Amino acid sequence: MRRRPSSTAGAGTGPVLLVLLALLVLLLPACGGSAAPGAGDATTASSTQTTATGSTSASTTASNTATTTPAEKKKNVIAWILSLGPGAPDGPPEFTAYRELQELHCATVFARVGELKEPARTLYKGAAHACLAATAGETARWPRAVAALRAVSGRSDELTCMDGAALALLDRLVTLHADHPGRSFVLAAGSKSKAPPCPAIAAVAPDRGPEDTLVRMTGRHLGAAVVGVSVIDSQGNSLPVIGLDRVDGSLVFRMPEAPSSDASASVCIVVRADPDWVAGGTPFTYESATTGPPAPFACPPPAEG
């Protein structure tokens, strides 16, 4: 890991560089920790100077526009990718800061943290410092990134699932810089970033029935991140489900009373995450003589998203 990559012609293709790549793939998952998925995303290394553009979705692109000199070919480079997932829904102020990081608008993050409470405010400022240090070469920011990581690392239980992705990013960058202080960072093209560790619904079974139907919801991160499950009808009325319980990574509950006669039999079951935002929704149809016929509507409804 501490050897300089080969400076032979055709940078990025030499056998020594391939060894470096293999080691980096092993290194990055270890640095990411378990705070968020995406810590084991594939990475690539290059001994040329690469300029990255675009977001951190699976379609991340990179353009290699600089002409490399012999000195540049000898430069040690660590490839990295911002492990934040697809665009988050509208919601709490954390989402705004998250999206700015996702789009690599590192400097803009500082203007987006005013409404955040501690330790989230310190976390996103630290991630922005690390982001600028890594992507813009502003190395004087590394101490502030390190200080932020130290301040928040013992307070992860006060962070939301969205914050967990930012914490994993900050930890990864600070750790890589500490292990390889003389190296530069380059965005890796084509990496498959993953969504943050927030609740996501895969399915509910059954997806129709009368009130008091026992329903099992499956998906990802349906544990402590979920603060509630509600049923929203076509008129926007909301009722909590009955007897919510967590069983083997799934959520089990009973459906509340059916909507009134002036509402559709179609409803939306939504999961809420801290700090009380709708993380996802899935449809359910009541079998009831007191409701109107089923009619599709946005799930979750726009007002709840």
- Top pLDDT among 132 and 40 is at 132
Nearest partner of 60 among 80, 32, 46, judged by Cα: 80
The percent of residues in the chain predicted with pLDDT above 90, rounded, is: 39
Categorize the per-residue pLDDT at 63 as very low, low, confident or very high, splitting at 50, 70 and 90. Answer: very low
Cα–Cα distances (Å) from 129 to 83, 125, 139, 285, in that order, read 16, 6, 9, 48
pLDDT at 190: 57
Q: Read off the pTM.
A: 0.62
In tens, the pLDDT along 155-189 reads 988 988 888 888 988 998 999 999 988 888 877 66
Instruction: Show Cβ contacts of residue 217 under 8 Å, excluding neighbours closer than 6 positions.
Output: 201, 203, 204, 229, 250, 251, 252, 253, 269, 271, 282
In tens, the pLDDT along 110-133 reads 999 998 999 999 999 999 999 999
- Top pLDDT among 93 and 211 is at 211
pLDDT at 288 over 60: yes
Beta bridge partners of 78: 185
Domain architecture of the chain: domains with CATH? 15-187 (no CATH), 200-304 (2.60.40.10)
Average pLDDT of the chain is 73
C-beta of residue 165 within 8 angstroms of C-beta of residue 84: yes
The percent of residues in the chain predicted with pLDDT above 70, rounded, is: 67
Cα–Cα distances (Å) from 150 to 31, 122, 123, 144, 175, in that order, read 15, 10, 10, 10, 12
Nearest partner of 257 among 296, 303, 301, 290, judged by Cα: 290
pLDDT at 76 over 50: no
| 89-93, 199-203, 272-276, range with the lowest pLDDT | 89-93
